Amino acid sequence: MRGIRRTVVLPAPGASGTQLPLSVRSEPISIAIQATRPGVNAKAYGGRGDPPQGRINFSLLLSPLFFIIREMEPAFRRTRQRPSSTETMVGILILAVLAAVGAGVLHSQQTFHPPVQLSRSLQESPPRQDPQGEPSAAVPGLIQSPPSGIDLVGKTEAFSPETLSQKIDGKAELYLSAGFQGLRTQRFAPEGERSWWAELFAYDMGGSANAFSVFSTQQRDTGQPADLAPYAYHTENALFFIHGPYYVEAVASTASDAVRQGLSKMARRFMEENPVRTEATEPEIPSLFPEQGLIERSIERIAADAFGFDRLDNVYTARYRTAGGEQTLFLSRRTSPEEAAALAGAYIEFLLQFGGKRLRPGTEGGRHGDVVIVEILGAFEAVFYRGRHLAGVHEAPSADAAAELAERLGRRLEKGSS
């Protein structure tokens, strides 16, 4: 029984080159290619006449391949009968080896391997020598018009997620994990003198919630509220605030009243030149925490991997002083009550998976209403949800302390939703 005969003609590009008619007859395991010199008619297969001719350019790489196939053609044609079991096993073994090699290459590509960066690294442009910095000419100025009494020093520098570490080194991961989009910086000093200088860092975090993450996790306990924005504080030599999607730092070389005024001027000028739409949703979440016992300026937002659980993202935490000791409340607004319920269950399972013990109701805590309490590593976690809010207590000193604080938050959430 003959195999299926197919005739394949390679397209003719029309360029000069070797004129080469080709036809391929395929049988179950048989491939035949016959290449001829220009002008010579192809030998017909099956007596069906010359296949259409076309002009084809062969690269040095392809011609050996066709050469090999042509040379092996008689051997292939010989094997009209089924291959022996030995040949089949050898063929399978070769295919398995090739598959293993391919899998190994794929695995290696996924593995962190610094030397792969080498050729690119060595080809990077030389470090900049200009003392004033040499940012790209295309970087728009962070401040277009400095306020009175302030001189801009040097040009605006800009950094992307790929280059952020060049400016802030190991701290880059803090921003990158919180949705960092870009950073622009600008140095400035008092007009006509250099008794002090400062630098403005404007981190575009892609949203006010992300900006709150990096703002809150770095907040200094000794900071004093600044009347610049709802989330703003200053220390002796620096000013920190949120402006829409921006987290902004203005850091000076020294501390004085004149410095503080200069920082404030630059900060206001930045806000004027970068108007933002007010986002009314996420920043309101901190106001849901009960006020009694709340440690001042302790509210933070964890963008991802809260408490070591990779599904816990967008979590606000607040520290409390209670009769039982210091505890942490956590709160996360999800897209729906169903998601909040599912995430609560998943977090509980996560705790149990790592050695947590769900306390039975009625004994040293347990289930208080719908609050689940888990004892883990000598501390207590309380987990529950209200509407689309996942909430709870983290690392409480006792089950009763966890339950009491959780119930206070629960009542607050119910009141807020009514």
Partner 1 sequence: MKKEDTAEAIDRRAFLIRVAKAGACAATAGAGAWLLHEEEVRTHTAEDAGAAIPDYSLTGRKPALVVVRGANRERTLQRAVSGLGGIETFVSPGDRVLIKVNAAFASPPSLSATSHPDLVAAAVRMCRKAGAASVSVTDNPINDPASCFALTGIEAAARSAGAEVILPREKSFAAYTVPGATLIRRWPVLIEPLMAADKVIGLAPLKDHHRSGASMTLKNWYGLLGGRRNIFHQDVHTVIKELAMMIRPTLVVLDATTAMVRNGPTGGSLSDLKRLDTLIAGTDPVAVDAYGAHLLERPITELAFIALAEQAGLGTADWRSLHPDVMDL
Q: Cβ of residue 384: shortest distance to partner 1, in angstroms? A: 32
Q: Residues in the chain, how many?
A: 418
Q: Cβ of residue 263: shortest distance to partner 1, in angstroms? A: 12
Q: Cβ of residue 346: shortest distance to partner 1, in angstroms? A: 27
Nearest to 315 by CA among 326, 327, 300: 300
Q: Which is nearer to partner 1, 76 or 307 (CB)?
A: 76
Q: Which is nearer to partner 1, 252 or 318 (CB)?
A: 252
Q: Cβ of residue 157: shortest distance to partner 1, in angstroms? A: 8
The pair of structure tokens assigned to 91 is 């063929």
Q: Which is nearer to partner 1, 259 or 372 (CB)?
A: 259
Q: Which is nearer to partner 1, 161 or 290 (CB)?
A: 161
The contacts of residue 269 (CB under 8 Å, 6+ apart) are 143, 145, 146, 147
Q: What is the CA radius of gyration of the chain?
A: 35
CB under 8 A, 24+ apart: contacts of 130-137: 133/157
Q: Cβ of residue 114: shortest distance to partner 1, in angstroms? A: 6
Q: Which is nearer to partner 1, 19 or 165 (CB)?
A: 165
What DSSP element (H or E) covers 381?
strand 379-386
CA 384 to CA 115: how far, in whole Å? 48
Q: Which residues pair with 200 in a beta bridge?
A: 186, 250
Q: Cβ of residue 123: shortest distance to partner 1, in angstroms? A: 8
Q: Cβ of residue 212: shortest distance to partner 1, in angstroms? A: 17
What DSSP element (H or E) covers 233?
strand 232-234
Secondary structure class of 47 (helix, strand, coil): coil
The stretches of 123-277 forming alpha helices (DSSP H) are 164-168, 172-176, 208-217, 257-273
Q: Cβ of residue 281: shortest distance to partner 1, in angstroms? A: 28
CA 367 to CA 381: how far, in whole Å? 12
Burial of 385 from C-beta contacts in 10 A (0-12 / 13-18 / 19+)? buried
The pair of structure tokens assigned to 377 is 């590593």
Q: Cβ of residue 139: shortest distance to partner 1, in angstroms? A: 13
Phi, psi at 219, each rounded to 5°: -65, 135
Nearest to 196 by CA among 261, 249, 135, 147: 261
List strands edge to edge, sheet with 238-243: 150-159, 182-190, 198-204, 246-252, 238-243, 232-234, 224-225
Q: Which is nearer to partner 1, 116 or 352 (CB)?
A: 116
Nearest to 207 by CA among 318, 282, 103: 282
Q: Which is nearer to partner 1, 326 or 339 (CB)?
A: 326
Q: Which is nearer to partner 1, 90 or 352 (CB)?
A: 90
Nearest to 273 by CA among 182, 210, 186, 189: 186
Q: Cβ of residue 28: shortest distance to partner 1, in angstroms? A: 13
Q: Cβ of residue 317: shortest distance to partner 1, in angstroms? A: 17
CA 158 to CA 400: how far, in whole Å? 51
Q: Which is nearer to partner 1, 16 or 222 (CB)?
A: 222
Q: Which is nearer to partner 1, 84 or 132 (CB)?
A: 132
Q: Which is nearer to partner 1, 62 or 323 (CB)?
A: 62
* Residues forming the site for partner 1 (CB under 8 A): 2, 45-46, 61, 64-65, 67-68, 71-72, 74-75, 77-80, 112, 114-115, 117-122, 124, 126-134, 154, 157, 163, 165-174, 197, 199, 218, 220-223, 235-238, 240, 249, 251, 253-255
